[in-house]
Structure 1
Amino acid sequence: MNFQTERLQIRPILESDEAEIFAIHSDAETCRYMLHEPWTDATRAEAFSKRLKQNQLSQASPVTLAVVLDNQVIGELFVWYTEMKETVEIGYVFNRAFHGHGYAFEAIKALLERLFTDFSIHRVQANLDARNKASEKLCYRLGMRKEAHFLQDYWTKGEWTDSFVFGLLQEEFVSNKKIES
């Protein structure tokens, strides 16, 4: 998967992206709601190596995509098939220095378009930490529907956390013109 938006290039991870991706994943605040601890120099190589291998979406393999602005990686998009037919889950993370400019919305909206058009996906879902209000707001802005609020269903980083599940059907995305900007 390799595509452009008005301001961004979305493409597979390259070896030359390591420093910029490390900057994203080594930031404790960025990783607060993620499932992993912040990357360290000791964990960097292994974690980055996994991303390099995730370069093409298939039933057997997730894809990790770099979000590039002016030749700088500012975020990542993740897509993997679930066990349900024609259903994928998405995830995303962006460098905090680039929050508040609409880059995540622009990148994910374009990703949704590709998934529904090029991959004939029926349903996209996102599972997020319920404390992540910015991510919740983004899902709503993308036209996604909150389908579940699970109470203390996930043990992560030494505590039980709530989670939200958001969903969007292909037919909703195609007919939902309110997510223009």
Structure 2
Amino acid sequence: MIIKTEHLIIRDFQKKDAAGLLEYLSHPRVNCFVGDRLYSEESALAYIFHSSEDMLRYAVCLREDDFIIGDVFALCEYTDTYSIGWHFNKHFEGKGLAYEAATGFLDYLFRDADARRVYGFVEDDNLRSKRLCERLGMRCEGCMKEFISFICHPDGTPRYEDTCIYAILNKEWKNNKNR
């Protein structure tokens, strides 16, 4: 699978992506991705080559040199509903690249994967991802208070996080694209 945008290529992972992947997933900045934390190139290679069959996971690379700057992923939960997410290297923030990648990926899901509905969970304090979802035309369908815990407080008790759900339907995506 290859998606080409103005500045990016979204493609299947390659072995050469391990070092770049390790760079941005060695310290996930969002607690919900603590489970994706990588500790070595070997763990990065395992991440690249051992995803579940229901998971679509692609490298986001700069078009000019094919350097990995992030990844996008989607889990098919029903025949036509996908839960999506993304990771991006902080050194490439503020340039519109996450928006460009997410737009290309949503186009792919709605056009080629026959998605009817796409949604994503975003921690309430993750302002960058919330803004990205809104720029993509996704609506906030609510915020679940103390929804889940990914980390613990220093005393070992769970730290529960407020989590928003953003979603968009295929017909809404197409309407937004036609404007």
Same fold (TM over 0.5): yes
Aligned pair 1:50/2:44, yes or no?
Answer: no
Q: Is the 8 A contact 1:33 1:132 kept in 2?
A: no
Give the equivalent residue in structure 1 for 2:155.
none
Report sequence identity in percent: 29
Give the equivalent residue in structure 1 for 2:104.
110
Alignment of 1:1-181 (within 5 A): 1-28=1-28, 30-36=29-35, 38-41=37-40, 44-54=41-51, 60-69=53-62, 70-82=65-77, 84-158=78-152, 159-177=159-177
Rounded to whole Å, the distance in 2 between the matches of 1:151 and 1:48 is 35
Output the aligned Cα RMSD: 2.0
Displaced runs of 4 or more, over 3 A: none
Count of residues in Structure 1 that have an aligned counterpart in Structure 2: 171
Rounded to whole Å, the distance in 2 between the matches of 1:85 and 1:114 is 15
Displacement of 1:157 in angstroms is 1.0
Q: Is the 8 A contact 1:31 1:37 kept in 2?
A: no
TM-score (norm 1): 0.87
Gapped runs of 5+ residues in structure 1?
none
Displacement of 1:32 in angstroms is 4.4
- Counterpart amino acid of residue 36 in structure 1: G
Rounded to whole Å, the distance in 2 between the matches of 1:37 and 1:6 is 29
TM-score (norm 2): 0.88
Displacement of 1:119 in angstroms is 1.3
Rounded to whole Å, the distance in 1 between the matches of 2:20 and 2:74 is 20
Rounded to whole Å, the distance in 1 between the matches of 2:164 and 2:92 is 24
SS of residue paired to 2:11: strand
Q: Is the 8 A contact 1:87 1:121 kept in 2?
A: yes
